[in-house]
Amino acid sequence: MRDVVSTRPNIWGDVRLIASARSAGRSLPVRGKQVQVMAMSAEAFDGVDLAMFDVPDEVSAEWAPVAASRGVVVIDKSGAFRMDPDVPLVVPEVNPDAAFSRPKGIISVPNCTTLSMIVVIGVLHHAYRLREMFAASYQAASGAGQAGTESLYDQLTMVGGHRALGQRPGDVRLAVGDGGEFGAPLALNVIPWAGSLRPDGWSSEELKIRNETRKILGAPELRISATCVRVPVVVGHSLALHAVFEAEVDADQARKLLSEAPGVVVTDRPEAGEYPMPVDVAGTDPTVVGRIRRAMDDPHALDLFVCGDNLRKGAALNAAQIAELMVADAR
Amino acid sequence: MRDVVSTRPNIWGDVRLIASARSAGRSLPVRGKQVQVMAMSAEAFDGVDLAMFDVPDEVSAEWAPVAASRGVVVIDKSGAFRMDPDVPLVVPEVNPDAAFSRPKGIISVPNCTTLSMIVVIGVLHHAYRLREMFAASYQAASGAGQAGTESLYDQLTMVGGHRALGQRPGDVRLAVGDGGEFGAPLALNVIPWAGSLRPDGWSSEELKIRNETRKILGAPELRISATCVRVPVVVGHSLALHAVFEAEVDADQARKLLSEAPGVVVTDRPEAGEYPMPVDVAGTDPTVVGRIRRAMDDPHALDLFVCGDNLRKGAALNAAQIAELMVADAR
């Protein structure tokens, strides 16, 4: 968040850092200045225009309304309010207008997996009207926070380190106990699970993709199925999508529309080995899309592959873009 | 192949090993005996009942008809004859009868990615009649042969080895030149490509899933879209599937049918962290299926995740099973 605030256009004036009492008093750099962290309190929000909340669901649930009641526009990255009908769920490239109807003074930021593909799907929905979508995700370890990244690093050291020390990688067999944050080894493995268990065997992450996509596109009847899978990647969520539209689609036209859309980069030259990949996307802002093909058996369907930085557009960047939207409107 | 021949039921009597002139003369163990490799020639097939071909497409194209013309039943693992209308494409659990109509004396073994899911899809097709399927794959490096595995091992040593030597994994940035067999780094990355380029941006691997599934199920009108993705796993191809059927589906019933099917293991207890994963499947014979859910927006659709050993069921095991089928019929 601090990195994004420090490198985006300066809309910020004074920046306050507010955290739990445990972190209060520390100094951290923001836009080149050291800023002392304040402890969370109702008064800490006095005089604040915009607050970006990057805290667990239960902290947002408690404190976002407190800030909002003092006139602050709250941009909340947690899951606490995403499906609240009185809270808009906003992606500036897709549904900016929604940000201006916020009865609770709160605007929600979608989940990182939804955000890794929604800008692309928004463009295609606008052109062809989405009817149905199947998504399979390839989610990075950092989606599970710092602990997730460290678990993967530890496992990679076990696997690759042994070889550096003269053993063959096949000599190393990771056990369930090495899984750390993921409950199973992620190095040299894929884990078809992300989030918590919901009815009928769905994971919370899979329901978020469905419910958030419906809300952002304003299409409550959309048929969506997702299967969420964790892969041994540090940064960069990818999704393979099969999207069925009301209108007939054309791959070249879709490629052209996407290449002209803000926030999207088309990387689609498989003949040159160029497709969206986490290794290229990590640390960048756009959603990258490629492998764009019209389904061979359905002229209304596109198959594609998208990849986004789950820590940037997937979280901090989208929040900062909403803040910029507020300021542009106020001016 | 030698491992599978050595550990499956002994239908084999005498075993000959036939290879290019370059390998001729070497001795290799098969079923506990050292067997000397013979050079490929027409005469090498004299007196042979069954031959399993594990060679490049062009070698099969040349030599399988030679062997067949001498009365040998050829079980061919290459891609040379898979879509030939006079060559059956056989998966013993799914379409065993097809093996007994072989005008050219050749039986084809499907591609490893098709084989990693087709036993599961066959069971469900039999019960509900498949109408449409979307597949996203998570394919192991070993699917690209020994060179693929070595490329991944080398990259993992660069990433993990540095940490063992005191650096942080983030200090290592793999470059395209480190990609080796895959043209891009596979460690800490996913590559949405497998095989060669076909018209309209499809990869050969994606077309194989579509065309082979149609042929094996005897359903030439099936609507199938696949997106094939390589992941940093050594052994074990996985697929996320969204399968739409003529009949209404029931997840519990599907689970029961699958758990009673030969060659299938159901691992579907997400509440206990149990789902199909390459780390558990590598080195085993069954296709493992889990994450079985009825689509929330379509009572005719199932979402599921399957995983199989691409070197066993994905290749050698399926060939040996066809050989066993021949012998059982001859007795």
**A155-184 pLDDT per residue, tens:** 888 887 666 555 555 555 566 566 678 889
User: Which H/E stretch holds residue B321?
Assistant: helix B317-330
pLDDT band at residue B174 using 50, 70 and 90 as cut-offs: low
Please choose, from the candidates A317, A320, A299, the residue with its C-alpha nearest in 3D space to the C-alpha of residue A309: A317
Per-residue pLDDT at B161 exceeds 80: no
The C-alpha atoms of residue B262 and residue B260 are separated, in whole angstroms, by 7
Predicted confidence at residue A183, as pLDDT, reads 87
Please choose, from the candidates A143, A70, A68, A69, the residue with its C-alpha nearest in 3D space to the C-alpha of residue A107: A68
- For range B310-323, the mean pLDDT: 92
* Single-letter residue type at B162: H
Coil, strand or helix: which one is B260? coil
Q: Which residues of A are less than 8 Å from B190 in CB distance?
A: 138, 231, 233, 238, 277-278
Per-residue pLDDT at B178 exceeds 70: no
Please tell me which residue in B112, B125, B228, B307 is annotated as part of the active site. Answer: B112
Q: What is the CA radius of gyration of chain B?
A: 21
Coil, strand or helix: which one is A72? coil
The C-alpha atoms of residue A243 and residue A264 are separated, in whole angstroms, by 17
Burial label for A324, CB within 10 Å (0-12, 13-18, 19+), is middle
Nearest to A231 among B157, B160, B190 (CB): B190
Predicted confidence at residue A167, as pLDDT, reads 57
B185, B178 contact by CB (below 8 A):
yes
Predicted confidence at residue B154, as pLDDT, reads 86
Predicted confidence at residue B99, as pLDDT, reads 96
Contact B192 A225 (CB under 8 A): no
CB neighbour list of residue B178: distance below 8 Å, 6 or more residues apart: B154, B155, B158, B185
The C-alpha atoms of residue A157 and residue A175 are separated, in whole angstroms, by 14
Per-residue pLDDT at B75 exceeds 80: yes
Cα B291 to chain centroid, rounded: 21
The lowest-confidence range among A88-97, B81-90, B129-138, B168-177 is B168-177
* Single-letter residue type at A198: R
Q: Which residues pair with A301 in a beta bridge?
A: A244
Q: Which residues pair with B17 in a beta bridge?
A: B37
Average pLDDT of chain B? Answer: 93
The C-alpha atoms of residue A198 and residue A212 are separated, in whole angstroms, by 16
Predicted confidence at residue A124, as pLDDT, reads 98
- For range B303-325, the mean pLDDT: 94
Question: Do β-strands A237-245 and A130-138 pair in parallel, antiparallel, or remain unpaired?
Answer: antiparallel
Joined together, the tokens standing for residue A115 give 């955000």
Coil, strand or helix: which one is B221? coil
Q: Which residues of B are less than 8 Å from A234 in CB distance?
A: 169-170, 188
Under DSSP, the state recorded for B236 is -
* Single-letter residue type at A56: P
Nearest to A193 among B132, B187, B270 (CB): B270
Has B300 been annotated as catalytic?
no
Predicted confidence at residue B329, as pLDDT, reads 82
Question: What digits encode the pLDDT tens for the residues B26-67?
Answer: 999 999 999 999 999 999 999 999 999 999 999 999 999 999
Contact A229 B223 (CB under 8 A): no
Kindly give the parts of chain A with pLDDT less than 50: none
Three-state SS annotation for A93-135: CCCHHHHHCCCCCEEECCCHHHHCCHHHHHHHHHHHCEEEEEE
Per-residue pLDDT at B171 exceeds 80: no
Q: Report how far apart, in Å, the C-alpha atoms of A35 and of each of A5, A54, A154, A316 are.
A: 13, 17, 33, 19
Contact A161 B159 (CB under 8 A): no
Predicted confidence at residue A153, as pLDDT, reads 86
pTM for the structure as a whole: 0.94
Predicted confidence at residue B132, as pLDDT, reads 98
The C-alpha atoms of residue B132 and residue A269 are separated, in whole angstroms, by 28
Average pLDDT of chain A? Answer: 93
Contact A225 B276 (CB under 8 A): no
